[in-house]
């Protein structure tokens, strides 16, 4: 396996040569299977594979997971709990809707195996690597890279933002959230949210798309902030953060520079390279 790609333009070739070549893809799947074998409570591995695949595809509750794999809601609760205790799945809560837990796959390597390698293993073994990756790349960006990047953004808020943004006591509880805008008849998902009680300390959007973040992204966060204010949350000292894997448009950079409540975080800043 070669070192990490130097730029996004090298990324596709790097994946093809290092993650989807026959030897590596088989090894990766064997490693995932080995992980499941190591958990003594996991016996019918096909069911557990199906659950991991369903969650990787976006099923986030027992009911939705059961619907994807054709099982009763109650039939998947025990294997889900086993995967949680073994560290393959994690259950987190919407910070604004406590009664709505979300189930997700902990390791992006498992998501990669379930979404990219496993469904196409036969074709990969025949050497049809390039077309498989070209058709799978959108799935990789939306279901693997996207969630992982959002998690990295939340980790940055938890670990680095208190020092970088001069808030030594931190930003409270860091996670994600969703808010229903009854006036606009829309639901808004918040990738990065930090709160202390009713005090919203930070709202952020984290996107790993190929396009740079621009003014419309900031305007969307401003609109969400207004909704939160109308619903009784304290947003007087809320920081607005935009996270991007590909940078920001010049007009957004100019606007953010004039707003002390707005922060832009690219990969260099996220990894402490700026």
Q: Given this model, what pLDDT does residue 104 score?
A: 95
Report d(CA 253, CA 263) in Å as an integer.
9
pLDDT at 191: 97
Average pLDDT, the chain: 89
What is residue 210's predicted lDDT score, i.e. its pLDDT?
85
Res 254: pLDDT:
97
Are 159 and 242 part of one and the same domain? Answer: yes
The string of DSSP codes covering 195-221 is EETTEEEEEEEEE--SSPB-HHHHHHH
Domain of 195, CATH number, reads: 3.40.1350.10
Counted domains in the chain: 2
**In the block, residue with structure tokens 């509750």:** 61
Between 141 and 86, the more confident residue is: 141
- Cβ atoms of 79 and 39 closer than 8 Å: no
pLDDT per residue as tens digits for the range 149-189: 999 999 999 999 999 999 999 999 999 999 998 876 789 99
Do 14 and 121 have their domain in common?
yes
Residue 222 is predicted with a pLDDT of 97
Residue 183 lies in a domain: yes
Percent of the chain with pLDDT over 70: 91
**How far is Cα 77 from Cα 38, in angstroms, rounded to an integer?**
21
Candidates 17, 78, 96; CA nearest to 42 is 78
Task: Summarize the confidence of residues 63-90 as an average pLDDT.
Answer: 92
Each residue's pLDDT tens digit, 220-230: 999 999 999 99
SS3 content of the chain, % helix, strand, coil (to 5): 50, 20, 25
- Whole-number Å distance between alpha carbons of 154 and 183: 29
Strongest mean pLDDT among 20-34, 63-77, 117-131: 63-77
Tens digit of each residue's pLDDT (9 = 90 or more) over 54-75: 999 999 999 999 999 999 988 9
Per-residue confidence (pLDDT) for residue 21, from 0 to 100: 75
pLDDT for the residue 27: 46
Q: What letter does residue 2 receive in the DSSP assignment?
A: P
Q: Are residues 254 and 170 part of one domain?
A: yes
> Are 87 and 197 contained in the same domain?
no
Phi, psi of 56 (to 5 degrees): -60, -30
14 and 113 together in one domain: yes
Same domain, 86 and 161: no
Identify the domain containing residue 192 by its residue range: 154-270
Q: Which residue has the higher pLDDT, 125 or 214?
A: 214
3 state SS of 102: strand
Q: Which residues contact 100 (CB under 8 A, 6 or more apart)?
A: 93, 94, 178
CATH number where 51 lies: 1.10.10.10
Rounded CA separation 213/193 (Å): 18
Query: Which has the higher per-residue pLDDT, 199 or 186?
Result: 199
End position of a domain, from candidates 111, 127, 143? 127
- For strands 239-244 and 262-265, give the pairing: parallel
Which tokens hold the place of 113? 């195996």
The residue that leads in pLDDT, 43 or 161, is 161
Helix and strand numbers (H, E) in the chain are 13, 7
- Long-range Cβ contacts of 63-71 (<8 Å, 24+ apart): 65/103, 71/47
């Amino acid at each position: 396996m070669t070192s990490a790609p130097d730029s996004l333009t090298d990324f596709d070739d790097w994946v093809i040569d290092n993650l989807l070549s026959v030897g590596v893809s088989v090894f990766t799947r064997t490693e995932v299977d080995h992980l499941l074998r190591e958990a003594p409570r996991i016996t019918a591995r096909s069911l557990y594979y199906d659950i991991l695949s369903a969650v990787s595809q976006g099923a986030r509750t027992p009911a939705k997971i059961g619907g994807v794999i054709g099982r009763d809601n109650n039939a998947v609760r025990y294997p889900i709990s086993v995967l949680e205790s073994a560290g393959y799945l994690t259950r987190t809560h919407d910070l604004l809707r406590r009664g709505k837990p979300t189930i997700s796959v902990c390791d992006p390597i498992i998501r990669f195996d379930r979404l990219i390698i496993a469904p196409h293993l036969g074709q990969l073994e025949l050497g049809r690597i390039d077309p498989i990756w070209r058709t799978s790349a959108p799935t990789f960006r939306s279901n693997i890279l996207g969630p992982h990047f959002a998690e990295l953004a939340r980790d940055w808020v938890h670990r680095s933002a208190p020092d970088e943004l001069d808030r030594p006591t931190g930003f409270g509880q860091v996670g994600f959230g969703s808010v229903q805008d009854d006036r606009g008849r829309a639901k808004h998902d918040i990738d990065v949210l930090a709160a202390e009680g009713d005090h919203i300390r930070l709202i952020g959007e984290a996107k790993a798309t190929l396009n740079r973040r621009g003014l419309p992204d900031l305007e969307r966060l401003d609109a969400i902030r207004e909704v939160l204010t109308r619903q009784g949350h304290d947003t007087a000292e809320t920081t607005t953060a935009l996270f991007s894997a590909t940078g920001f448009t010049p007009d957004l950079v100019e606007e953010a520079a004039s707003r002390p409540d707005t922060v832009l975080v690219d990969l260099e800043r996220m990894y402490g390279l700026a």
